[in-house]
Amino acid sequence: MADQTPEIESGVNDAVIEENKTLKAKVAELENTIAEFKAEQRNNQVKALFAELGRDYCEKSASVYQNMDAETFAAVAEDMLNNKPKLPEKLFQEQATGETFTAFSNAGKKLLNQVAGVN
């Protein structure tokens, strides 16, 4: 009876090597999925930050923020929000006075009279 130990060990080694390759491929796939998820999350965070600041979102401006690590981005975003200019509340309230409409109305009448050749 011949010793089959080397053949068995070789088969086991091949199986372990093959399983190792499969696991490495799965790990790489999961790492890629995580990276894509993080990039999407950061993109959403940057868009929300820009919206909060009243800035238009563009890829060029956003790329700087998307490449920051999480801790740096959080600190920069907090600073930006804390230093956001505070506009007076009355700028956001509607006010109607008859003066503006009357002034424009009179100017419009004068212009029409000039075009029509009437004094």
Instruction: Compute the distance between CA of residue 32 and CA of residue 47 in angstroms, rounded to an integer.
Output: 23
114 within domain boundaries: no
112 within domain boundaries: no
* Structural domain boundaries, residue 35: 5-87
Put simply, whether the predicted model's pTM sits higher than 0.75 gets the answer no
25 within domain boundaries: yes
Q: Which residues, 6 or more positions from 52, have their beta carbon under 8 angstroms from its beta carbon?
A: 81, 84
Instruction: Compute the distance between CA of residue 69 and CA of residue 77 in angstroms, rounded to an integer.
Output: 12
Give the number of domains in the chain: 1
Question: What is Dmax (Cα atoms) for the chain?
Answer: 127
Tell me if 65 sits within 8 A of 73, measured CB to CB.
Answer: yes
At 5, which helix (H) or strand (E)? helix 5-53
pLDDT tens, position by position, 41-86: 999 999 999 999 988 998 898 999 998 999 999 999 999 999 888 8
